[in-house]
Amino acid sequence: MAAGKKAVLGVTGGIAAYKAAELARLLVKKDISVMVVMTENAKEFITPLTFQTLTGHPAFSDLFSQEHYDLNHISLAAYGDVIVVAPATANIIGKMAAGIADDLLSTVLLAARAPVLVCPAMNDNMYTHPAVQNNIRILQNRGVHIVAPDRGELACKTAGIGRLAELEAIVEAIETAWTDKDLAGEKILVTAGPTREPFDPVRFITNYSSGKMGYALATMARRRGAEVILVSGPTVLPIPYGVDFIPVESAVEMRGAVMSRLETVTVVIKAAAVADYRPAVRAGNKIKKKRGPLNIDLEKNPDIIAEIGAKKGKRVVVGFAMESENLLANAKAKLFAKNMDLIVANDLHQDGAGFQSDTNIIKILDLQGGVETVPLMDKLDIAARILDRVKALIYAGSR
C-alpha cells in the first residue's frame, strides 16, 4: 500500500496553496516520500522552506537549477508513483490541456508517465468558465484523474464551487491511483457495523461493533476497482469515498437493503455484527421506571447470510465469525451451515483483534478445510488479504 511509495506534489499559485503543506504532511505520515515542485506564483503564497521542512527534500521550482542538476524535469517526472497537482489553478490546467511546458512543473507534467491527479481550486466563476471546464474534459479524456473541488465558502468571500477537495479525499484518490484494479468488473456488497434493535423510542439493544473491518473492506475493494455497495448499521466512521452507502438501523432493515440488491452483485461480504434477536414489541412511548425488574421478550431476527447462502448462485459469499471459545470449530460449522465460500474467524480474546480495534488478527477458513492465519495487521491490510482470497475464488469460477 502507501508505505514506501513516492509522490511528486505540484503546487501552484492559489490561496489553497497553504493546504498543500498539510497534504504533504499527511503523505509523509503514511511513509510516502514526497518531492514538491512549485510554480513561481505558488511561492507568493507559501515558501519552499515549509515544504522542505515537512518532506525532508528541497522544494523545486527552477527549470535550470545548477544546484540540483541531477533532479531535473525528467528525473522528477520519473520519480513519482503518482503526480498530484494540488491546488491546481486555471492556468496550470490550461497549460496541461494545451501541452505547454514553460516552467519546471508544466515540464515535469509533460514528461510524466505515472498517474496524474489534478485537484482544481479557484473562484467559482473561473471554475465554471467554459474554457476551464473544456480543459478539464480534455485532461479527463487523456486519463488524468480530476479530484473535483467542493462547494462552500471561497477565499473571495463568495460561496460556490471551487474549494480544494478535502485532503482526505485527495489522499484516497492517490491511494486509488496506484492500486491495481484487479477487482474491476465486480460488484461487491459489504455489510458493516452493528444493528440496533429498539424496544422504545429512546432505547435499543446493540453490540460493540465499530464497523471498522467492513469499512476497510469497502475502501479497499473500491480502490481495487470494484463497484461497492456498503450497507451499514450506525457507526461514527466517515463514509468511504466512492461507495454506494446505504445506512440502516435494525437487522430487518439490513435484510431488506441486502436482499433487494442481491441480484445485482457478484460478491457479498458480511462483516456486520447482526443482532440475532430483537425486542418482540417496540413500545410507542418511553417505558417508565416501575418497581421491580423489567422483562423484555425477544424474538429471532432473520439470518441474512443464511438467506443469501440459499440463493447464492455463482456469487462469492464471505461471512465473519466472532467467537469467544472454540474458534475454529464454531467458524467451520457456520461456514457449512450457511453455505458460504469463506469465513473470517476472529478470536474475541486476542489483543489487537476484534470490534473496536484498528488492527485485527484473523483466520480464513475455506470449504476445502484450509485455514489461513493472518497475523496482527492494520484492518486495511487484513481487508486486502480477504479480497485476495475472494479474487482467487472469482478466478477459480472463471466468471
Q: Which is nearer to ligand CTP, 45 or 277 (CB)?
A: 277
What's the CA gap between 89 and 110, in Å, rounded? 17
Query: Which lies closer to ligand CTP via its Cβ, residue 106 or residue 357?
Result: 357
Hey, what's the cell of 145? Answer: 484523474
In the complex, what is the shortest distance from the CB of residue 176 to ligand CTP, in angstroms, rounded to a whole number? Answer: 27
- Count the site residues for ligand CTP by CB under 6 A: 14
**272 forms part of the interface with ligand CTP (CB under 6 A):** yes
From the number of C-beta atoms within 10 Å of its C-beta (0-12, 13-18, 19+), residue 280 rates as exposed
Binding mask 284-323 for ligand CTP (x = CB under 6 A): -----------------x-xxx-------------xxxx-
**Residue whose CB is less far from ligand CTP, 25 or 385:** 385
- Mask for 224-263, x = binds ligand CTP (CB under 6 A): ---------------------------x------------
Interface stretch with ligand CTP, choices 65-73, 78-86, 271-279, 388-396 (CB under 6 A): 271-279
Shortest distance in whole angstroms from residue 249 CB to ligand CTP: 14
Catalytic option among 15, 111, 156, 306? 156
By beta-carbon proximity to ligand CTP, the closer residue of 253 and 303 is: 303
- Taking CB under 6 A as the criterion, the residue among 334, 361, 364, 390 binding ligand CTP is 334
Could you give the 3-state DSSP secondary structure of residue 192?
Answer: strand
Helix axes of 17-29 and 48-55: crossing angle, nearest 10 degrees: 10
**Residue reference for cell 471551487:** 162
CB of 320 to ligand CTP, least distance (A): 4
Residue 14 neighbours by CB under 8 Å, 6+ apart: 45, 87, 89, 121, 122
- 119 assigned to active site: no
- Residue selected from 270, 315, 332, 389 as contacting ligand CTP according to rule CB under 6 A: 270
| Per-residue x/- track, 84-103, ligand CTP (CB under 6 A) | --------------------
Nearest distance from C-beta of residue 277 to ligand CTP, angstroms: 9
Stretch that binds ligand CTP, among 116-124, 155-163, 173-181, 266-274 (CB under 6 A): 266-274
- Select from 244, 249, 276, 378 the one that contacts ligand CTP (CB under 6 A): 276
Q: Indicate the residue among 322 and 361 with the shorter CB distance to ligand CTP.
A: 322
Shortest distance, CB of residue 331 to ligand CTP, whole angstroms? 8
Helix (H, G, I), strand (E, B) or coil at 177: helix
Give start and end residues of each alpha helix (H) in the chain: 17-29, 48-55, 73-79, 90-98, 104-111, 124-128, 130-141, 167-177, 212-223, 251-259, 304-310, 327-337, 379-396
My answer on whether omega of the bond before 87 falls inside 30° of 0, hence cis, is yes
Q: Is 210 in the site for ligand CTP (CB under 6 A)?
A: no
Query: Is position 139 an interface residue for ligand CTP (rule: CB under 6 A)?
Result: no
8 Å CB contact between 314 and 399: yes
Q: Give me the sheet containing 82-88, strands edge to edge.
A: 33-38, 6-11, 82-88, 116-120, 145-146
Q: Return contacts of 25-32, CB within 8 angstroms, 24+ apart.
A: 25/54, 26/167, 26/171, 27/2, 27/171, 27/174, 28/54, 28/55, 28/56, 30/2, 30/3, 30/171, 31/2, 31/3, 31/4, 31/5, 32/2, 32/3, 32/5, 32/6, 32/7
Could you list the residues that contact ligand CTP (CB under 6 A)? 251, 270, 272, 274, 276, 301, 303-305, 319-322, 334
Catalytic residue IDs: 156
